[in-house]
Amino acid sequence: MILAIDTATQYAGLALYDQNGVFAEENWFSGRNHTVELMPRVARMLALAGLEARQLTALAVALGPGSFTGLRIGLAVAKGMALPYKLPVVGVPTLEIVSRPFSRGKFPVWAVAQAGRGRIFAACYSRHEQQWQPVVAPYLTTFAELAGQITEPALCTGEIDMEAEQLLQRESKAQVVSAAIRPRRAAFLAEIAAERLAAGEQDDPDALVPIYLTQP
Protein backbone atom coordinates (compact mmCIF):
# COMPACT_ATOMS: atom_id res chain seq x y z
CA MET A 1 0.00 0.00 0.00
CA ILE A 2 1.41 3.39 -1.03
CA LEU A 3 0.74 6.42 1.15
CA ALA A 4 0.68 9.66 -0.87
CA ILE A 5 1.27 12.97 0.92
CA ASP A 6 0.66 16.35 -0.69
CA THR A 7 1.09 19.58 1.29
CA ALA A 8 2.53 21.63 -1.56
CA THR A 9 0.03 24.50 -1.33
CA GLN A 10 -2.86 25.54 0.89
CA TYR A 11 -4.72 22.58 -0.61
CA ALA A 12 -3.53 19.31 0.92
CA GLY A 13 -4.20 15.66 0.21
CA LEU A 14 -3.60 12.10 1.35
CA ALA A 15 -4.29 8.80 -0.38
CA LEU A 16 -3.76 5.08 0.13
CA TYR A 17 -3.24 3.19 -3.12
CA ASP A 18 -2.43 -0.40 -4.07
CA GLN A 19 -2.64 -2.68 -7.09
CA ASN A 20 -6.44 -2.55 -6.90
CA GLY A 21 -6.52 1.25 -7.06
CA VAL A 22 -7.51 3.89 -4.51
CA PHE A 23 -8.30 2.49 -1.05
CA ALA A 24 -8.83 5.86 0.66
CA GLU A 25 -8.36 9.51 -0.26
CA GLU A 26 -8.81 12.87 1.44
CA ASN A 27 -8.25 16.27 -0.15
CA TRP A 28 -8.97 19.47 1.74
CA PHE A 29 -8.22 23.17 2.10
CA SER A 30 -5.65 23.31 4.87
CA GLY A 31 -4.69 26.97 4.60
CA ARG A 32 -1.55 27.23 6.69
CA ASN A 33 -2.52 24.49 9.13
CA HIS A 34 -0.50 21.61 7.66
CA THR A 35 1.56 21.22 10.84
CA VAL A 36 -1.43 20.50 13.08
CA GLU A 37 -3.68 18.77 10.54
CA LEU A 38 -1.43 16.38 8.63
CA MET A 39 -0.35 13.73 11.14
CA PRO A 40 -3.78 13.21 12.76
CA ARG A 41 -5.24 12.67 9.28
CA VAL A 42 -2.43 10.26 8.36
CA ALA A 43 -3.08 8.30 11.56
CA ARG A 44 -6.83 8.23 10.88
CA MET A 45 -6.35 7.00 7.30
CA LEU A 46 -3.94 4.25 8.37
CA ALA A 47 -6.36 3.19 11.11
CA LEU A 48 -9.17 3.06 8.55
CA ALA A 49 -7.07 0.63 6.51
CA GLY A 50 -5.98 -1.34 9.58
CA LEU A 51 -2.35 -0.54 8.81
CA GLU A 52 0.70 0.57 10.74
CA ALA A 53 3.38 2.68 9.06
CA ARG A 54 5.80 -0.23 8.82
CA GLN A 55 3.25 -2.16 6.72
CA LEU A 56 3.28 0.40 3.94
CA THR A 57 5.11 -0.55 0.75
CA ALA A 58 6.14 2.98 -0.27
CA LEU A 59 5.55 6.69 0.18
CA ALA A 60 4.84 9.33 -2.46
CA VAL A 61 5.26 13.04 -1.81
CA ALA A 62 4.61 16.25 -3.73
CA LEU A 63 7.93 18.04 -4.31
CA GLY A 64 6.81 21.48 -5.42
CA PRO A 65 6.84 24.13 -6.54
CA GLY A 66 4.64 25.35 -3.73
CA SER A 67 4.62 26.83 -0.27
CA PHE A 68 8.01 26.73 1.44
CA THR A 69 6.56 25.60 4.77
CA GLY A 70 4.03 23.22 3.23
CA LEU A 71 6.65 21.45 1.13
CA ARG A 72 9.00 21.06 4.09
CA ILE A 73 6.23 19.57 6.24
CA GLY A 74 5.23 17.01 3.62
CA LEU A 75 8.81 15.97 2.96
CA ALA A 76 9.62 15.76 6.67
CA VAL A 77 6.68 13.44 7.30
CA ALA A 78 7.50 11.26 4.27
CA LYS A 79 11.15 10.96 5.28
CA GLY A 80 10.26 10.41 8.93
CA MET A 81 8.04 7.48 8.00
CA ALA A 82 10.30 6.05 5.30
CA LEU A 83 13.70 6.00 6.97
CA PRO A 84 12.93 3.84 10.06
CA TYR A 85 11.26 1.15 7.95
CA LYS A 86 13.44 1.52 4.84
CA LEU A 87 10.41 2.27 2.66
CA PRO A 88 10.86 3.46 -0.94
CA VAL A 89 10.01 7.11 -1.58
CA VAL A 90 8.95 8.73 -4.85
CA GLY A 91 8.88 12.51 -5.20
CA VAL A 92 6.60 14.00 -7.86
CA PRO A 93 6.46 17.62 -9.08
CA THR A 94 3.29 19.39 -7.97
CA LEU A 95 2.18 20.51 -11.43
CA GLU A 96 2.62 17.03 -12.88
CA ILE A 97 0.03 15.86 -10.34
CA VAL A 98 -2.31 18.67 -11.42
CA SER A 99 -2.02 17.70 -15.10
CA ARG A 100 -2.34 13.95 -14.61
CA PRO A 101 -6.16 13.57 -14.99
CA PHE A 102 -5.87 14.85 -18.57
CA SER A 103 -2.80 12.89 -19.64
CA ARG A 104 -4.70 10.69 -22.08
CA GLY A 105 -6.34 13.58 -23.89
CA LYS A 106 -5.28 15.16 -27.15
CA PHE A 107 -4.76 18.72 -25.90
CA PRO A 108 -1.78 20.22 -24.06
CA VAL A 109 -2.56 20.99 -20.42
CA TRP A 110 -1.54 24.11 -18.54
CA ALA A 111 -1.34 23.26 -14.84
CA VAL A 112 -1.52 26.03 -12.24
CA ALA A 113 -0.92 26.38 -8.50
CA GLN A 114 -1.11 29.48 -6.34
CA ALA A 115 2.21 31.07 -5.37
CA GLY A 116 0.88 33.95 -3.24
CA ARG A 117 1.10 37.73 -3.71
CA GLY A 118 -0.94 37.54 -6.90
CA ARG A 119 1.48 35.10 -8.55
CA ILE A 120 1.06 31.55 -9.78
CA PHE A 121 3.22 28.58 -10.67
CA ALA A 122 2.48 27.29 -14.17
CA ALA A 123 3.72 24.54 -16.47
CA CYS A 124 2.49 22.96 -19.69
CA TYR A 125 2.31 19.19 -20.23
CA SER A 126 1.70 17.27 -23.43
CA ARG A 127 2.04 13.77 -24.83
CA HIS A 128 5.19 13.27 -26.89
CA GLU A 129 6.44 9.91 -28.16
CA GLN A 130 3.87 8.16 -25.95
CA GLN A 131 5.16 9.95 -22.86
CA TRP A 132 3.32 12.59 -20.81
CA GLN A 133 5.96 15.22 -20.15
CA PRO A 134 6.49 18.94 -19.56
CA VAL A 135 6.83 21.03 -22.70
CA VAL A 136 7.06 24.24 -20.65
CA ALA A 137 8.91 23.75 -17.36
CA PRO A 138 7.37 25.17 -14.16
CA TYR A 139 7.84 28.91 -13.82
CA LEU A 140 6.54 31.83 -11.79
CA THR A 141 4.03 34.12 -13.51
CA THR A 142 0.60 35.77 -13.18
CA PHE A 143 -2.75 34.87 -14.72
CA ALA A 144 -2.59 37.95 -16.96
CA GLU A 145 0.82 36.95 -18.31
CA LEU A 146 -0.24 33.32 -18.68
CA ALA A 147 -3.32 34.30 -20.71
CA GLY A 148 -1.08 36.08 -23.20
CA GLN A 149 1.18 33.05 -23.51
CA ILE A 150 -1.52 30.47 -24.30
CA THR A 151 -1.86 31.09 -28.02
CA GLU A 152 -2.83 27.56 -29.08
CA PRO A 153 -5.84 25.46 -27.98
CA ALA A 154 -5.16 23.88 -24.60
CA LEU A 155 -6.80 22.90 -21.33
CA CYS A 156 -6.11 24.84 -18.14
CA THR A 157 -6.53 23.35 -14.68
CA GLY A 158 -5.47 23.71 -11.06
CA GLU A 159 -5.95 26.46 -8.49
CA ILE A 160 -7.98 28.89 -10.60
CA ASP A 161 -10.57 31.19 -9.04
CA MET A 162 -13.60 32.60 -10.86
CA GLU A 163 -11.92 35.87 -11.82
CA ALA A 164 -8.91 34.05 -13.26
CA GLU A 165 -11.16 31.61 -15.10
CA GLN A 166 -12.98 34.47 -16.80
CA LEU A 167 -9.69 36.13 -17.73
CA LEU A 168 -8.27 32.94 -19.25
CA GLN A 169 -11.45 32.19 -21.15
CA ARG A 170 -11.56 35.75 -22.51
CA GLU A 171 -7.89 36.48 -23.22
CA SER A 172 -6.35 33.11 -24.14
CA LYS A 173 -6.92 30.03 -26.29
CA ALA A 174 -7.33 27.92 -23.15
CA GLN A 175 -10.43 26.04 -22.13
CA VAL A 176 -10.60 26.09 -18.32
CA VAL A 177 -11.87 22.72 -17.12
CA SER A 178 -14.78 22.31 -14.71
CA ALA A 179 -14.20 23.49 -11.14
CA ALA A 180 -15.15 20.02 -9.90
CA ILE A 181 -12.13 18.40 -11.59
CA ARG A 182 -9.57 21.19 -11.17
CA PRO A 183 -8.36 20.45 -7.61
CA ARG A 184 -5.10 18.52 -7.22
CA ARG A 185 -5.79 14.98 -5.97
CA ALA A 186 -3.47 12.81 -3.88
CA ALA A 187 -4.74 9.70 -5.68
CA PHE A 188 -3.03 10.89 -8.87
CA LEU A 189 0.20 11.45 -6.92
CA ALA A 190 -0.05 7.85 -5.71
CA GLU A 191 -0.80 6.56 -9.21
CA ILE A 192 2.26 8.29 -10.68
CA ALA A 193 4.42 6.88 -7.87
CA ALA A 194 3.06 3.36 -8.45
CA GLU A 195 4.04 3.53 -12.12
CA ARG A 196 7.54 4.71 -11.30
CA LEU A 197 8.03 2.04 -8.66
CA ALA A 198 6.88 -0.61 -11.16
CA ALA A 199 9.54 0.72 -13.55
CA GLY A 200 12.20 0.36 -10.84
CA GLU A 201 12.42 4.08 -10.10
CA GLN A 202 12.59 5.60 -6.63
CA ASP A 203 14.30 8.49 -4.85
CA ASP A 204 16.89 8.61 -2.10
CA PRO A 205 15.00 9.95 0.94
CA ASP A 206 18.16 11.59 2.32
CA ALA A 207 18.77 13.49 -0.91
CA LEU A 208 15.17 14.42 -1.69
CA VAL A 209 14.61 18.21 -1.54
CA PRO A 210 11.71 20.52 -2.45
CA ILE A 211 11.48 22.23 -5.84
CA TYR A 212 11.59 25.96 -5.20
CA LEU A 213 11.18 28.54 -7.97
CA THR A 214 11.95 31.42 -5.61
CA GLN A 215 14.30 31.74 -2.67
CA PRO A 216 12.88 30.77 0.76
Which pLDDT score, from 0 to 100, does residue 26 have? 98
Kindly report the CA angle at 78 between 131 and 89, in degrees rounded to 5?
40
CATH of 2-94+184-198, one of 3.40.1030.10, 1.10.1580.10, 3.40.50.300, 3.30.420.40: 3.30.420.40
Which pLDDT score, from 0 to 100, does residue 130 have? 83
Which pLDDT score, from 0 to 100, does residue 216 have? 57
Provide CATH code, domain 95-181: 3.30.420.40
Cα within 13 Å of Cα(141), Cβ side: 20
The model's pLDDT over 19-63, given as tens digits with 9 standing for 90+, comes to 999 999 999 999 999 999 999 999 999 999 999 999 999 999 999
Q: Please indicate, yes or no, whether the overall pTM of this predicted structure exceeds 0.85.
A: yes
Give the chain's residues under pLDDT 70.
215-216
